[in-house]
């Protein structure tokens, strides 16, 4: 039997006038790497804070490791590592001193800390910076340090709120390599992210919208929810091209990516020649055109547009 390490039913959290989480139904199995995505204000942070036992439940139910959040939120804390969206390191403290601080917070013995420190430093690629003040680390290194600090008490569950936002792509990749290692070692990870390439690396992805989970599936199946095919066009004049193709039959949706257009169409083979002809007739040069596999990003934009329609 599979065990749900996180399970919520009709979980709701109100702030004065705002219902931030609205009847959330979420089940996460032990060992999953679950990605939470959704537009600003969808309720991702509030959900993670609820699951970390940091906010009171307004209504509904939630269990983490079998503990009821309403009654046993303190019992959950030793098992959970939570990295806040606006996490706080102590800038004046060195990398090592930050470890010590978090170890004390979670009652990690100095013997355990000594054993873990070297491994975590190595893991986070911070060995040579261990005496540097946190404030003097790069943004990417600070994120890795924050993650290492949330691992000091060896939590079974990691709740990470946009841990790589604003970090350069190389550091993001390094950070995700660490997450993948933790995932392979059996840690359950729930991570929110605005980056669709990151969502694509998860075993399952949930889309939050207005406090609810509106889609939840493997990345592959979510991409498959895009009904139709994607045509990628690079026109000489994307604004003019946008106007032209938006009016065409069979074109369900157009998204712009820099100067290229991604067209969601009913049939790629059928519409590609029609699109080429109409762009040509409008005096727009087509630099390249191809049928491209749908990406996570297009699938989500499309799903969110449908919610807003
Ligand atoms: N402490 C608070 N007091 C009042 N309203 C709040 C509070 N925290 C969150 N909210 C509101 O609840 C809603 C959900 O916010 P939340 O921070 O959970 O969204 P989010 O999905 O994490 O957004 P983002 O992508 O911008 O981080 C928003 O409307 C927000 O303004
Ligand atoms: Mg947030």
Q: In order of start, what are the domains of the chain with their CATH numbers? A: 4-220 (3.40.50.300), 227-293 (3.30.70.100)
Q: Which residues of 286-306 are buried (b: 16+ CB within 10 A; e: fewer)?
A: eeebeebebbbbbbbbbbbee
The pLDDT value given to residue 305: 83
Average pLDDT of the chain is 92
Residue 77 confidence (pLDDT) above 60: yes
Alpha carbon of 102 to those of 45, 97, 166, 238: distances in Å?
Answer: 21, 9, 24, 51
CB of 40 closer than 6 angstroms to any ligand 1 atom? yes
CA of 209 to the centre of ligand 1 (A): 12
Whether pTM > 0.85 for this model: the answer is: yes
Number of residues written out for the chain: 309
CB of 45 closer than 6 angstroms to any ligand 1 atom? yes
Residue 1 confidence (pLDDT) above 70: no
Q: In what order do the strands lie in the sheet with 286-292?
A: 251-257, 260-265, 229-235, 286-292
Calculate what percentage of the chain has a pLDDT beyond 70. 99
Q: Which atom of ligand 1 is found nearest the CA of 19?
A: 12
Residues with CB under 5 A from ligand 2 (ion): 44-45, 85
Q: Which atom of ligand 1 is found nearest the CA of 192?
A: 22
The closest residue, in CA terms, to atom 5 on ligand 1 is 15
The pLDDT value given to residue 2: 55
Tokens found for residue 18: 């705002």
Rounded average pLDDT over 23-37: 97
* Cβ atoms of 113 and 101 closer than 8 Å: no
172 against 21, higher pLDDT: 21
- Read off the pLDDT band of 285 (50, 70, 90): very high
């Amino acid at each position: 039997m599979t065990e749900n390490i996180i399970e919520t039913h009709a979980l709701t959290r109100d702030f004065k006038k705002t219902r931030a989480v609205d009847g959330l139904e979420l089940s996460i199995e032990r060992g999953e790497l679950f990605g939470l995505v959704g537009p600003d204000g969808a309720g991702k942070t509030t959900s993670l804070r609820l699951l970390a036992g940091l906010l009171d439940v307004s209504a509904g139910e939630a269990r983490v490791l079998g503990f009821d959040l309403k009654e046993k939120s303190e019992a959950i804390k030793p098992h959970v590592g939570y990295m806040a969206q606006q996490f706080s390191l102590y800038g004046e403290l060195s990398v090592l001193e930050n470890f010590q601080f978090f170890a004390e917070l979670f009652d990690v013995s100095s013997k355990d800390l000594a054993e873990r420190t070297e491994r975590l430093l190595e893991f986070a690629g911070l060995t040579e910076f261990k005496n540097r003040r946190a404030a003097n680390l790069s943004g990417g290194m600070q994120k890795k340090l924050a993650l290492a600090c949330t691992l000091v008490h060896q939590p079974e569950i990691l709740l990470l709120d946009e841990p790589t936002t604003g970090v350069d792509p190389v550091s993001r990749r390094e950070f995700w390599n660490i997450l993948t290692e933790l995932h392979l070692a059996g840690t359950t990870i729930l991570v929110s992210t605005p980056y669709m390439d990151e969502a694509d690396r998860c075993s399952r992805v949930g889309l939050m919208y207005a406090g609810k989970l509106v889609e939840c599936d493997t990345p592959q199946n979510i991409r498959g929810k895009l009904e139709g095919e994607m045509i990628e066009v690079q026109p000489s004049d994307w604004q003019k091209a946008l106007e032209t193709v938006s009016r065409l039959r069979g074109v369900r949706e157009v998204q712009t990516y820099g100067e290229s257009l991604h067209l969601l169409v009913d049939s790629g083979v059928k519409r590609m020649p029609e699109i080429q002809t109409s762009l040509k007739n409008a005096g727009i040069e087509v630099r390249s055109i191809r049928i491209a596999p749908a990406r996570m990003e297009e699938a989500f934009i499309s799903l969110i547009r449908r919610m807003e329609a």
